[in-house]
């Protein structure tokens, strides 16, 4: 009888471990979808430029978006100025 009881405990632990694994995989998938949604176009352009460079093209540009604004030193007096609405 005790062997059957130990087997049930083992099966419950396996089920709990599998459930935790599935939750972690789901969270990673959601995070990956979010990153691809935000940065997908830039990543696609970067890989396209890399593939063209590896193919032997010498004049390759990635055409990805980049930061064009210069960083300014902010203080408490100028913190909210010049910000996009």
- Residues 24-61 have pLDDT tens digits of 999 999 999 998 888 888 888 888 888 888 888 777 77
Q: What's the pLDDT at 63?
A: 67
pLDDT band at 3 (very low <50, low <70, confident <90, very high): low
Q: What's the pLDDT at 57?
A: 79
Largest separation between any pair of C-alpha atoms in the chain = 76
Q: What's the pLDDT at 2?
A: 61
CA distance 61 to 40: 17
Q: What's the pLDDT at 68?
A: 53
Find the mean pLDDT for residues 62-73. Answer: 60
pTM: 0.45
């Amino acid at each position: 009888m005790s062997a059957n009881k130990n087997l049930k405990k083992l099966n419950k632990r396996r089920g709990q471990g599998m459930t935790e694994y599935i939750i972690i995989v789901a969270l990673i998938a959601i995070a990956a979808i979010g990153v691809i949604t935000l940065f997908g176009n830039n990543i696609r352009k970067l890989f396209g430029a890399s593939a063209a460079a590896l193919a032997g093209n010498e004049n390759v540009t990635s055409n990805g978006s980049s930061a064009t604004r210069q960083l300014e030193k902010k203080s408490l007096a100028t913190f909210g100025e010049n910000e996009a609405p």
